[in-house]
Amino acid sequence: MWLMLSIFILLILNVGKGNKMKYNKPTILLKYIAYLLKASNGKGHGIHSPFVFSFIKNVLNAKTQGAWVDKIEKYRTDLSYNKQAIKILDLGAGATKQGYKVKQIAEVAKGALKSKKYSALLNRMLAYFKPIAVLEMGTSLGITTCYLAQALPDTKIVTMEGAPAIAELALATFENVGYKNIQVVVGNFDQNLPLYLKDIDHVGFVFIDGNHSYEPTMTYFNSLLSKSNEDAIFIFDDIHWSKEMENAWEEIKADERVSLTIDLFYIGIVFLKKENKEKENFIIRF
């Protein structure tokens, strides 16, 4: 009985797996329950920061709808039924030794993209904060990129993708859904992020959604900070995806240049605003 229980606990806690490995489903579920128990209720009650209160009211809890949403979502649905196989150069945290994976487009559409709820939240964040520059690290099929492009039609949205076959599909997405203010940079973040940073005055809004492991995440964060002023906003995806990502998130929160963070479980939001004298780390239900 005790042996069975220990095996069960070992299994759900992912003991024996490397820190890089994605947590298994029961572990993620337990972590999600812990998040719900710790999180503020999402209505802003008990939140004393006016900035965060306003963010909750005007951005987090606002609604995003319109014909443009339906158009993007219709394209997402089409992709999720597309059985065409593609050969994907694999650069992320789960990269295989041979470096390529063959997958159906449908699998990518169902497994790699941010859901409508989060894509719409990023759209509202851009419309609300109006950053001077927007970068997405990890384009995949370009669905979230469309939400970003819709929010700021006069801003060039730069999106980076390492797998050429995926980048081509993203270009087809932009063509079909009808966004022209997007620039796709194909290649590894490791090479392309320094080039991007050379080209801009200051970092604006960055969605870091690729290569979910500790070292690259911290490298990208520190490079981005080197070109950031207090207006920069970073969104880190999958902060509770693995032990490594949780370690990276803890280190990012503790960084002295970071003044405010919001943990929504599936993403972590980072602000550098100087008006926030005391560092504050919020966990908010979303």
Ligand X SMILES: C[S@@+](CC[C@H](N)C(=O)[O-])C[C@H]1O[C@@H](n2cnc3c(N)ncnc32)[C@H](O)[C@@H]1O
Binding site for ligand X (CB under 6 A): 91-92, 112-114, 136, 138, 140, 143-144, 160-163, 166, 188-189, 209-211
Residue among 120 and 160 whose Cβ is closer to ligand X: 160
Residue among 54 and 115 whose Cβ is closer to ligand X: 115
Q: Closest approach of Cβ 139 to ligand X, in Å?
A: 6
Q: Closest approach of Cβ 24 to ligand X, in Å?
A: 18
Lookup result for tokens 């606002």? 62
Lookup result for tokens 């990502």? 245
Between the alpha carbon of residue 24 and those of residues 15, 29, 92, 133, 240, the distances in Å are: 11, 9, 18, 36, 11
Residue among 14 and 123 whose Cβ is closer to ligand X: 123
Residue among 92 and 178 whose Cβ is closer to ligand X: 92
From the list 204, 162, 208, 169, the residue with the least C-alpha distance to 186 is 162
- The H or E element containing residue 228 is none
Q: Closest approach of Cβ 274 to ligand X, in Å?
A: 29
What values do phi and psi take at 239, rounded to 5?
-70, -15
Q: Closest approach of Cβ 77 to ligand X, in Å?
A: 14
Count of positions (residues) in the chain: 286
Lookup result for tokens 């039609």? 153
Residue among 26 and 94 whose Cβ is closer to ligand X: 94
Lookup result for tokens 């590894």? 188
Q: Closest approach of Cβ 262 to ligand X, in Å?
A: 18
Q: Closest approach of Cβ 112 to ligand X, in Å?
A: 4
Between the alpha carbon of residue 168 and those of residues 74, 146, 180, 258, the distances in Å are: 19, 15, 15, 36
211: left (phi over 0), alpha (psi -120 to 50) or beta: left
Residue among 22 and 243 whose Cβ is closer to ligand X: 22
